[in-house]
């Protein structure tokens, strides 16, 4: 939940999937719950996504890469890519955009 507030807290959240071909429905076994608290001073940003997570895509696919971070004040996001063992900022444009909560969206992936 992006930009969670008091109205989001102390409720149960569950995931449900529907198989496109068979219509089978499965729900998560354990619901999640959010507890909202007031920040107690500054908290350094902490990234909570695996360092080396991978996405497999075909040429022409659209891909969304997550960057989940927590901190106070709310962190800002910048994406970098590794080229020849150096990090370079990812240029944003028509095909590459930064979405809410740090998601990087790449449209029509190419080599």
pLDDT (tens digit per residue) in 21-44: 999 998 888 888 888 887 778 888
Q: 36 in the Ramachandran plot: left (φ > 0), alpha (ψ -120 to 50) or beta?
A: beta
Any idea what the CATH number is for the domain that residue 75 is in?
A: 2.60.40.10
Claim to verify: residue 96 and residue 44 sit in the same structural domain: yes
- pLDDT for position 52: 62
Domain residues for 19? 1-37
- pLDDT for position 51: 61
Claim to verify: residue 51 and residue 69 sit in the same structural domain: yes
List, in order, residues 6 or more apart from 65 with CB less than 8 Å away.
Answer: 55, 79, 103, 104, 106
- pLDDT for position 24: 92
Task: Kindly state the tokens that stand for 39.
Answer: 């920040």
**Phi, psi (5° rounding) for residue 71?**
175, 170
Claim to verify: residue 56 and residue 85 sit in the same structural domain: yes
List, in order, residues 6 or more apart from 9 with CB less than 8 Å away.
Answer: 34, 35, 36
Overall pTM surpassing 0.75 (yes/no): no
pLDDT tens digits, the chain, 111 residues: what are they? 777 788 888 888 888 899 889 999 988 888 888 888 877 788 888 887 666 677 889 999 999 998 888 888 888 999 999 988 999 999 999 999 999 888 899 999 998
Distances (CA, A) of 77 to 23, 31, 53, 88, 98: 38, 29, 17, 14, 8
Claim to verify: residue 22 and residue 45 sit in the same structural domain: no
Task: Kindly state the tokens that stand for 33.
Answer: 């719950």
């Amino acid at each position: 939940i992006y930009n969670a507030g008091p109205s989001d807290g102390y409720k149960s959240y569950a995931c449900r999937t529907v198989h496109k071909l068979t219509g089978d429905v499965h729900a998560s076994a354990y619901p999640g719950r959010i507890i909202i608290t007031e920040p107690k001073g500054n908290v350094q940003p902490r990234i909570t996504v695996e360092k080396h997570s991978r996405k497999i895509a075909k040429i022409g696919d659209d891909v969304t890469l997550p960057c989940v971070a927590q901190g106070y004040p709310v962190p800002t996001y910048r994406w970098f890519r590794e080229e020849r063992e150096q990090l370079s900022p990812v240029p944003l444009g028509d095909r590459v955009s930064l979405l809410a909560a740090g998601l990087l969206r790449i449209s029509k992936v190419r080599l």
